[in-house]
Structure 1
Amino acid sequence: MFAKKSILTASVLLAVGITGASAADWSDTSIGYRYGTKFAEPFNNNDIKKNIINLTHASGYKYGSNYFNVDMLMSDSNDSPTTNGVPNKESSAQEVYIVYRHTFDFGKIAGKSLAVGPFRGFGFTAGFDYNNKSGDSYQSKKRMLVAGPTVMMNVPGFLNISLLQLWESNEPARAVFRQPGRYHYDPHPMLNLAWGIPLGDSGFSFSGYANFIAAKGDNENIAKTKTKAETNIDMALLYDFSGLIGAQKNTFKAGVGYQYWKNKFGNDHKGAAGNGAYAKTPMIRAEYHF
C-alpha cells in the first residue's frame, strides 16, 4: 500500500513540476562531476573512491519552484560485498539517487510580498527521494516522501530552511539481515538547509545543504537495533571559470567540496557500523550550466 501511495504521490509531484517548468519564470540546468577518495559506507572500514556524475534542474514559476537532481555514483572495488568488514572486491557498487522537491511560495500564490525582517518569504515543500544500489552487501532500495514548511531567508542568492516530515522505507537484498519484505521506518522529522550564495564580485560561490535527521526507530535488521540521529552536510566552494572558455557568466564552475556525514543512514558509528558510518570526505567538483 505504501509503495502504491509513494508512486502515486511522486507522479503527482512530478506532474506539477513539469507543468511549472513549462511556464518557468527562470530555470537552471547543469551537469556536474564530483570525485573523492575518502567516501565511507557503514559496516565497511575502508576508504572508498567514487566518481559521481549528476544532472540537476532548478526552476521557478508562477506559484513556486522545482528542484530535481539525479546522482550516478560509481565506486571502486572497496565498495563491494564484505566479510567481517573486509571487501571481497568481486565487484564494485553503482548507485542511482534521485531527489525531487517542489516548493509552493505563499507570497507568489497570494500575489504579494510576504517579506518581513530577515525572511524573504514562506512556503510549503513536498517531494521524494528514490535510490537503487547494486554491487555491495546491502543493495539499498530506498523510497522516501517528504513534506513540511519552508522559510526563504533574505540573503544574496538563496537560503531556504525547511522542517520536513519523512516517510522512509527500504528493501535491501540481503534478507538474512532484515525483516522480510519492504521495511518501513518510523516517520521522523528533518531540519534541512539549502543554500547557494555568491561571495560578492569575487567569482566564488558557496553552495550546499545540511540535513539534521532525527532517529527513525528500529533498524530493519532482525536484531532490531536502534537507529541514531544523523547529520549530513555537503558543501562546495566553486569559482566561475566561464570567461576562460568564452562562455557567459556562471556557465562553468569548478572548485572543492566537502561532505560530513555522522551516523550515516541512521547507523551508530560507535557500534557495529564502525568508521564507515562517519564520513568526512573532501572532493573536487565541477559544473557546466546550460
Structure 2
Amino acid sequence: MQSLSRIALAASLAVLSMASQAADWSDTSIGYRYGSKFAEPFGTNNIHKNIFNLTHVSGYSYGTNFFNVDLLMSDKNDPASPGSNNGAQEAYVVYRHTLDLSKVTGANLSYPGVVRNLGLTAGFDWNVKDDAGYNSKKRMLVAGPTVMFDVPGFLNVSLLQLWESNAPTNEYTGVATPRYSYDAHPMLTAAWSIPVPVGLPISFEGFANFIAGKGKNEFGGQTAPETNIDMQLMYDVGTLWNTPKKFKVGFEYQYWKNKFGNSYKGAAGDGAFAKTPMIRAEYHF
C-alpha cells in the first residue's frame, strides 16, 4: 500500500507539473483534515482518520482542470487486516476537465445574474485501499454537461454519467472478486466556493453528489441511491499577515448516506451512513 501511495503521489506531481506549465492560471494546495466519526459499510461509525490531500485547479484557453489526491489513514477501528491493530490506508484520486463551450464556440452562453457559462465535463476516479474486509480498487469514468452559475466565487452543477467498476478482495474469507462493472448510472453533482458576507475573509466551500443506484453489486445485492455532501467554512488566515489566499483553516462536515451504494437499512448497517465533523487546514502556492 505504501508503494502504491508513493506511485499515486509521484504520478500526481507529474500531472500537476504538466498542467501548470500549460495553464493561464493555477492554484495548488496541500491540506490536512481530521475527524473521529468516519464510517465504513459493514463496520463501525467511530473511525478516526488523518487525511492529507494535494489539490490543483487551473485554467487554460479552452477550459479548466481539477485534480485531487487524498491519502487517508484510519485507526484500528478500520483495520488493515483481520485482527490487526494497524489501520487501513487508502489513496483516492479524482480528475475532472471542463471544456468551456463559450470559448470553444465563440458564442455568448451566459444569462446575467443566473448563468455564467456552460461546459462539458469528463474525468475519472481511481482508488486503492488495504482494509481487511473489502480492499477496494475502484475505477470510474465520468462525462456530462455542466452549468456554471453567476454567483460570487463559483457554483458549478453537472449531470454526469458514471461508468464504475471494482475488483475487491476480502481478507476474512480469502475471496478475490474479478473486476466487476456496475450498471452505468447518473450523478447530479455540485461544487462551490462562495464568500460569506460577514465582514471577514470566510468562504463556504464544498461539493454535493447525488448518485442513482448502480444496479446489482458484485455479490448480487441491489445497490441504493447515494448522497454525499461535504461542506466547509474556511477562514483565510493569510490575510492576518497580508498574504491572502495562502493559508486557510476551518471546519468541515460530511454527510454520506448509503456510502458506496450500500443501504444503511440493510446488512451494511450504520457504517453506511457517515455524519462526520472535521477540522481542516490548507496551504496554497
TM-score by length of 1: 0.88
Matched, 1:220 2:218: yes
Structure 2 unaligned spans of 5+ = 1-10
Given residue 192 of structure 2, which amino acid in structure 1 is its aligned partner? W
Q: 1:123 pairs with 100, 119, 143, which one?
A: 119
Q: CA RMSD in A?
A: 2.1
Given residue 57 of structure 1, which amino acid in structure 2 is its aligned partner? H
Matched, 1:262 2:232: no
Q: 1:187 pairs with 173, 184, 187, which one?
A: 184
Matched residue of 1:41: which SS? coil
How big is the shift at 1:115? Answer: 0.7
| C-alpha separation in 1, matches of 2:36 and 2:276 | 8
| C-alpha separation in 2, matches of 1:164 and 1:272 | 29
Equivalent residue number for residue 203 of structure 2:
205
Structure 1 unaligned spans of 5+ = 1-10
Mapped contact 1:121–1:152 kept (Cα < 8 A): yes
Equivalent residue number for residue 231 of structure 1:
227
Equivalent residue number for residue 48 of structure 2:
49
Matched residue of 1:45: which SS? coil
| C-alpha separation in 1, matches of 2:70 and 2:24 | 26
How big is the shift at 1:248? Answer: 1.5
Matched residue of 1:113: which SS? coil
Equivalent residue number for residue 8 of structure 2:
none
Given residue 272 of structure 1, which amino acid in structure 2 is its aligned partner? A
Given residue 209 of structure 2, which amino acid in structure 1 is its aligned partner? N
How big is the shift at 1:108? Answer: 1.4
| C-alpha separation in 1, matches of 2:68 and 2:31 | 10
Superposed counterparts of 1:115-154, under 5 Å: 115-117=110-112, 118-154=114-150
Equivalent residue number for residue 113 of structure 1:
108
| C-alpha separation in 2, matches of 1:233 and 1:73 | 18
Q: Deviations over 1:120-158 (max 9, x none)?
A: 000100000000000331110000000000000000111
Given residue 101 of structure 2, which amino acid in structure 1 is its aligned partner? F
Mapped contact 1:178–1:220 kept (Cα < 8 A): no
Equivalent residue number for residue 73 of structure 2:
74
| C-alpha separation in 1, matches of 2:280 and 2:190 | 20
Equivalent residue number for residue 32 of structure 1:
31
Query: Sequence identity of aligned pairs in percent?
Result: 61
How big is the shift at 1:113? Answer: 3.1
| C-alpha separation in 2, matches of 1:248 and 1:111 | 36
How big is the shift at 1:225? Answer: 1.0
How big is the shift at 1:173? Answer: 1.1
Distance 1:81 1:46, change over 3 A: farther
Mapped contact 2:48–2:74 kept (Cα < 8 A): yes
Equivalent residue number for residue 173 of structure 1:
169
| C-alpha separation in 1, matches of 2:177 and 2:131 | 21
